[in-house]
Chain A
Amino acid sequence: MTTGIARHLRTLSLVSVLLAPVPAAAIGGKPAVDRDTVVMAVSKEIFNLDGQVTASGDSQRYGWQLYDTLYALDRNGDIVPRLAAGMTRSEDGLTYTFTLRTDVKFHNGELMTAEDVAYSMDRILDPAVKSTRRPAFAPVVAKSEAKDAKTVVFTLKEPDGAFLNKIAGYLFIVPKAYTQSLGSPEAFARAPIGTGPYRFVEQKIGQFVTFERFDDYFGPKPGIKRLIMRLIEEPSSRVNALLTGEVDLSDGIPTAEIERLKKTPGLTVHSVPIGSPLGVRLYANDPSLPISKAKVRLAFNYAIDANALIKNVLHGAGAPLTSYISSYYSYGVNRDLKPYGYNPGKAKQLLKEAGYPNGFEISIYSSSDWPKEIAETLAAYWSQVGVKAKIQRIDYAAWSRLNNTHKSGPMTLMQMSNAIFDPIHPVTGGASKAGTWSDYSNPEIEELILEANKTADRSERDRVFKRIGAILHEDAQAVLITEIFYVYGADSALDWAPQPGIAWYDLRTIRWK
């Protein structure tokens, strides 16, 4: 029902675009509130402010403003110390010792110590907290302890080559004494305290969240005093609010609006890759399906013109993929690989060789989270080589349940998010025997995954993932569509650029020019 309405709205907003040249007034250096404040329109509700509990998709919006991690991703894609001053890993890869900075304060004024860090891990592991991060740490972490005020030791049950990445992606540090003093784990979400550059002020569900600058922050401080995230779910309403200067910055700009906003004086459009592939998950393990054959899977790739789809359906907000590993990881990307390219002749030839000279019928799921035009375009391309794909469009929540339980077959449109800045995430998740979103298995990949898990050495991991990328490319474990881009519209007078390679929002140093 909503999607129906949303579609009409979108069509209408397109019509109205044609009618109305917008008077240039409030944008271009005139802040929505004042020069100490930035108002950002966000497209998704900010649910739970407990960064350890909330699902990753929500924490993107505020997590990086409120909390810090021991190590963090910098703008070059490197993992660098943040709350930690340094780290040593034991020979066997089972012990991680972090030395902490001594000048870090929580928003309540308390100094951060090793006790807080050890507690933050224990809190995630405690089932009563219902942390969404628990499944990432529980299988590998044996214990966490504070050796002295500034030394924390994590002992692992088995080596985990991506452990530091998980620390950087998932382990938000919370204050022990304060958190324990609260009546229930849920109470923390109402008054969250971290060490980040902004502190929490107020949340009005369905309306906004307000933050203010934390003046005792140990690192570079934000150039503004207040940050307001305003919820505006309807895309055309976000664009209107941006045009009238009611908000200074907006996420989720519909790709159809990019050109118009670029032409509007005083506005800047940022379109950045988030290190996530959008592809079609194939249930290749089912031998009764034609897509169990590599040639058919390759044919599905050659049959589509990804460049045309990106240009016309996504209005340029995308880039072709070369493998399931996004090109925007800082390592493990096989730069020798080229996109498959549009080659319907080759696709027909491959289908013939696989024993389907006249094509076949198959179905594909498409959730309401993606424009329906994407699946429609794919189906149109495939019909050119004789394959009839029936599109099953369903609500996101229902789809997500099917997709997380291996019931979204035989094919579904799907994205993989970059959560921990290491290619292990899409590889185990989407291309391994045990992967939650994988119905593809390949003994070679399984061995390489084991190899990756054993080593935390970056050049080693680089080598292993390049090899994995090449194999996945050759075997076409998925249909590759595009790198996912996030599109933001901003007042040109804002000194800010989104962090590339990740779906999280980094407003830590935003300021007015």
Chain B
Amino acid sequence: MLRYLTLRIAQSIVTVLLVTMIIFVIIRLIGDPTHLMLPPEATEADRELLRQQMGLSDPVAVQYWRYLLQLLHGDMGMSYRFSLPALDVVLGRIGPTLLLTCTSLAIGILVGVPLGVASAVRPDGWIDFVAKAIALFGQAAPPFFFGLIFVLVFAVQLRWLPTSGYGGPQYLIMPAIALGWYSAAGLMRLTRSNMMEVLTSEYVRMARIKGVPERVVVYKHALKNAALPVLTFASLQFGILMGGAVSIESVFAWPGMGKLILDSIANLDYAVVQAAVTVSALMFTAINLAVDLLYAYIDPRIRYA
């Protein structure tokens, strides 16, 4: 187990390093921020001076090496747009992003998994019908569509909730449900199909023949075996929700990471892009690592492989 853990951590570090290197090079290929930083009256000499001040005139390899050295001191450079350390800008977004991601994912799991199980146990029953309808809407329409509908109904018409913004729980409800619905749809369908498969497998039949109560068959024998792909899916959802909730962040003016990364790329704010991608990569690999360890816990075959 210790060997397995060490190996996985080493792999994670390599992954993060690779991701930072790729983004470091790619963002520099997109363009030079000095055109956006200085007013267009600026001359080429003005821009060159700025490039030197920012260390952009050195070869990319030198710049990357310098970045890694700074990284060891926890320094990710300055955001030119905010005149703030890039890490501070990114850390300011982590709280809101994690709050939204975890709440939506929790909604997704709490709604999706039980519904999936229930509809697998009684296919074509009324629960299955409702679950299918929920899944259909959740997968067919993008989350921002529900976001907009929610705003019109619950904020503009009924005035129950604020239209957008970040603050207390009242601000979280609509974006979390809009995103959670999307996750719930996928999780429900995956749980349902896996459970159906497992429930018809021989060892489940064996358990039933032995007279094990149905509740235990479903939740202990079947669900534990159907859970692996669901867990994988949920961890991937986490990554998607972390950086990919841009449209929901836009509709609800939610100060999240997705919008920050996108805007920073558009404005060539190198330091923020690098910091945001590094932090996201760290979190995502950490989640993956945790999921892998959970696998090992759930499925002994992985542990001893």
Is B a genuine binding partner of A?
A: yes
Binding site for B on A (CB under 8 A): 1-2, 5-6, 8-9, 12-13, 16, 19-20, 22-23, 25-26, 45, 47-48, 50, 53, 55-56, 127-128, 130, 132-136, 138, 185-186, 188-190, 204-207, 230-234, 236-237, 240-241, 243-244, 246, 395-398, 400-401, 404-405, 429, 436-437
B144 in contact (CB, < 8 A)? yes
Query: Beyond the given A244-B159, A397-B31, could you list 6 further A-B residue pairs with CB under 8 A, ordered by the A residue number?
Result: A132-B39, A135-B39, A205-B84, A205-B255, A246-B162, A436-B40
Q: How far is the CA of A408 from the CA of B256 in the complex (A)?
A: 33
Query: Could you tell me if B82 and A236 are in contact, using CB atoms closer than 8 angstroms?
Result: no
Query: Could you tell me if A246 and B246 are in contact, using CB atoms closer than 8 angstroms?
Result: no
Asked whether A405 and B35 contact (CB < 8 A) given A13-B148, A135-B42, A204-B255, the answer is: yes
Q: How far is the CA of A135 from the CA of B37 in the complex (A)?
A: 12
Asked whether A9 and B250 contact (CB < 8 A) given A190-B83, A244-B163, A397-B266, the answer is: yes
Q: How far is the CA of A194 from the CA of B83 in the complex (A)?
A: 18
Residue A207 contacts which of B156, B162, B255 (CB distance < 8 angstroms)? Answer: B255
Query: Could you tell me if B49 and A127 are in contact, using CB atoms closer than 8 angstroms?
Result: yes
Q: How large is the interface on B (under 10, 10 to 19, 20 to 34, 35 or more residues)?
A: 35 or more
Query: Could you tell me if B266 and A12 are in contact, using CB atoms closer than 8 angstroms?
Result: no
State the Cβ distance, B150 to closest chain A Cβ, in Å: 11
Query: Could you tell me if B152 and A19 are in contact, using CB atoms closer than 8 angstroms?
Result: yes
Tell me which of B102-110, B235-243, B257-265 binds A.
B257-265
Asked whether A22 and B41 contact (CB < 8 A) given A205-B92, A232-B164, the answer is: no
Instruction: Kindly report which residue of chain A lies nearest to residue B167, judged by CB atoms.
Output: A207
Residue A48 contacts which of B35, B41, B46, B83 (CB distance < 8 angstroms)? Answer: B83
- Chain B residue numbers with a CB within 8 Å of A189 are 82-84
Query: Could you tell me if B31 and A2 are in contact, using CB atoms closer than 8 angstroms?
Result: no
State the Cβ distance, B159 to closest chain A Cβ, in Å: 6
Q: How far is the CA of A22 from the CA of B156 in the complex (A)?
A: 7
- Chain A residue numbers with a CB within 8 Å of B39 are 55-56, 132-133, 135-136
Asked whether A397 and B148 contact (CB < 8 A) given A1-B262, A47-B81, A50-B83, the answer is: no
8 Å CB interface, B264-304 against A: 266-268
- Chain B residue numbers with a CB within 8 Å of A25 are 159
- Chain A residue numbers with a CB within 8 Å of B260 are 206
Residue B144 contacts which of A5, A19, A230 (CB distance < 8 angstroms)? Answer: A5
Query: Could you tell me if B155 and A186 are in contact, using CB atoms closer than 8 angstroms?
Result: no
B129 in contact (CB, < 8 A)? no
State the Cβ distance, A47 to closest chain B Cβ, in Å: 4
Asked whether A401 and B38 contact (CB < 8 A) given A2-B246, A9-B251, A48-B82, the answer is: no
B6 in contact (CB, < 8 A)? no
8 Å CB interface, B13-40 against A: 30-32, 35-40
Query: Could you tell me if A234 and B32 are in contact, using CB atoms closer than 8 angstroms?
Result: no
Instruction: Kindly report which residue of chain B lies nearest to residue A127, judged by CB atoms.
Output: B49
Q: How far is the CA of A13 from the CA of B252 in the complex (A)?
A: 14
Instruction: Kindly report which residue of chain B lies nearest to residue A397, judged by CB atoms.
Output: B266
Binding site for A on B (CB under 8 A): 30-32, 35-43, 46, 49-50, 53, 78, 80-84, 89, 92-93, 144-145, 148-149, 151-152, 155-157, 159, 162-166, 246-247, 250-253, 255-256, 259-260, 262-263, 266-268
Query: Could you tell me if A396 and B266 are in contact, using CB atoms closer than 8 angstroms?
Result: yes
- Chain B residue numbers with a CB within 8 Å of A138 are 46
Q: How far is the CA of A291 from the CA of B53 in the complex (A)?
A: 40
Asked whether A233 and B253 contact (CB < 8 A) given A189-B83, A204-B92, A206-B93, the answer is: yes
Residue A401 contacts which of B35, B165, B253 (CB distance < 8 angstroms)? Answer: B35
Asked whether A6 and B43 contact (CB < 8 A) given A206-B255, A246-B163, the answer is: no
Query: Could you tell me if B253 and A232 are in contact, using CB atoms closer than 8 angstroms?
Result: yes
Residue B247 contacts which of A5, A135, A205 (CB distance < 8 angstroms)? Answer: A5
- Chain B residue numbers with a CB within 8 Å of A50 are 83
Instruction: Kindly report which residue of chain B lies nearest to residue A403, judged by CB atoms.
Output: B40
Q: How far is the CA of A133 from the CA of B252 in the complex (A)?
A: 35
- Chain A residue numbers with a CB within 8 Å of B32 are 401
- Chain B residue numbers with a CB within 8 Å of A5 are 144, 246-247, 250
Asked whether A128 and B35 contact (CB < 8 A) given A12-B145, A244-B155, A244-B163, the answer is: no
State the Cβ distance, B300 to closest chain A Cβ, in Å: 43
- Chain A residue numbers with a CB within 8 Å of B145 are 12
State the Cβ distance, B81 to closest chain A Cβ, in Å: 4
- Chain B residue numbers with a CB within 8 Å of A20 are 152, 156-157
